[in-house]
Amino acid sequence: MLHNLRRPAAQRFDGVEMDAVDGAAFVRGALAMIAATQREAVRAGDHTLVLLEVTSLHRDHARRPLVFFDSAIHTLTH
For residues 15 and 30, what is the distance between their CA atoms, to the nearest angstrom?
Answer: 14
Q: Is 31 exposed, middle or buried (0-12, 13-18, 19+ CB in 10 A)?
A: middle
pTM of the model: 0.59
The pLDDT of residue 25 is: 84
Sign of CA dihedral 6, 8, 11, 17: positive
Q: What is the pLDDT along the chain (78 residues), one digit of tens a residue?
A: 556 777 888 888 888 898 888 888 888 888 899 999 999 999 999 999 999 999 999 998 888 888 888 888 888 776
How many angstroms separate the Cα of 57 from the Cα of each of 2, 3, 46? 22, 26, 31
